[in-house]
Amino acid sequence: MNGHDLFIDQIQLARRWKLSHRTLERWRWLSQGPSYTKIGRRVVYRLVDVEQFEAEGLHATTIRSEAERRA
C-alpha cells in the first residue's frame, strides 16, 4: 500500500484541520479545498492530496530587523 492508497473521510479531515465538516461540504460546493472522490455516497480524500493542499498553503515569513524597518 502506497500513499495513493490511503484515504481519510471528511470527519477525519475536519478533525485534522479543526474545522466543521460542514465547512468541508461548503468548500466542495464552491470547488475549493483539496481534491476528493466519492465511493458510493461516501466522500473521501486521498492523504497525498490533503498533504499537497496543505503544502500549497504554506507561506514563508519574513522577519526584518528593527534597523531594516527604519531604513
Domain interval for residue 53 = 3-70
- Round to whole Å and give the CA distance between 27 and 50: 14
pLDDT of residue 5: 84
Number of domains in the chain: 1
Whole-model pTM? Answer: 0.76
Residue 1 has pLDDT above 60, yes or no: no
Q: For position 48, which CATH number holds?
A: 1.10.10
Q: What is the pLDDT of residues 13-71, one digit of tens each?
A: 999 999 999 999 999 999 999 999 999 999 999 999 999 999 998 877 766 656 566 66
Q: Are 35 and 49 in contact (CB under 8 A)?
A: yes
